[in-house]
Amino acid sequence: MSKDIKHEIREARPKLRDVSPLAYWDVLVMGWFNIVLGATFIFGIDETRFAASLLIVNELFTFDFWGVIFILIGLLKLYSLRINNWKLSRSTLFLGVSVKAAWMIALTIRTFISPGTLFLNILWITIALLQIGAYIWFMPPSTASYNQRKKDR
């Protein structure tokens, strides 16, 4: 597909920001949050300072691994907004929900077995719930169905 056609398609779609501002801001903020969090995992965390890790079970699932995952999800979110692809925004939001839910559960368990992560847990649960809420109530299903509804009206 040529660049012109891609551009035209992008312009033809209604902007996510116009259709669902809350979903747009959630994807944008979460995108940057994921990038910052991922970068922090890779560059800013000294693993030796952690008495117990969260989802790190071997040499593969390290903080670096999760850092890369979070950065990728964040970049994908921003890219989906850039090309105004609702489906991709929705998928990345769902991916974020899944990863955040895994971390949320791990942090909750950790809160009970090693005190000191309660505040972090509450913060993380809030972020996860915000993302879940945005996905359930504010993220439109697809551009096609939105256009169909608009036509019907």
Amino acid symbol at 145 = S
Q: Which is nearer to other proteins, 79 or 138 (CB)?
A: 138
In this chain, which stretch among 3-11, 37-45, 79-87, 99-107 interacts with other proteins, using CB under 8 A? 99-107
For residue 59, the SS3 value is coil
Q: Which of 4, 18, 59, 152 touches other proteins (CB under 8 A)? A: 152
- Least separation in angstroms between residue 52's CB and other proteins is 7
Does 72 bind other proteins (CB under 8 A)? Our answer is no
User: Quick check: 88 and 76 in contact, CB under 8 A?
Assistant: yes
In this chain, which stretch among 14-22, 36-44, 98-106, 116-124 interacts with other proteins, using CB under 8 A? 98-106
**Phi, then psi, of 97 in degrees rounded to 5:** -60, -45
Please list, residue by residue across 134-153, b when 16 or more beta carbons sit within 10 angstroms of its beta carbon and e when fewer do.
Answer: bbeebbbeebeebeeeeeee
Does 137 bind other proteins (CB under 8 A)? Our answer is yes
Q: Which of 12, 22, 83, 102 touches other proteins (CB under 8 A)? A: 102
User: Quick check: 83 and 10 in contact, CB under 8 A?
Assistant: yes
Does 28 bind other proteins (CB under 8 A)? Our answer is no
Distance in angstroms (rounded) separating the CA atoms of residues 80 and 15: 11
Does 22 bind other proteins (CB under 8 A)? Our answer is no
- Least separation in angstroms between residue 126's CB and other proteins is 15
Distance in angstroms (rounded) separating the CA atoms of residues 95 and 74: 10
Does 18 bind other proteins (CB under 8 A)? Our answer is no
Eight-class DSSP state of 47: G
Residues within the interface to other proteins (CB under 8 A): 52-57, 61, 94, 97-99, 101-106, 109-110, 113, 132, 135-137, 139, 141, 145, 149, 151-153
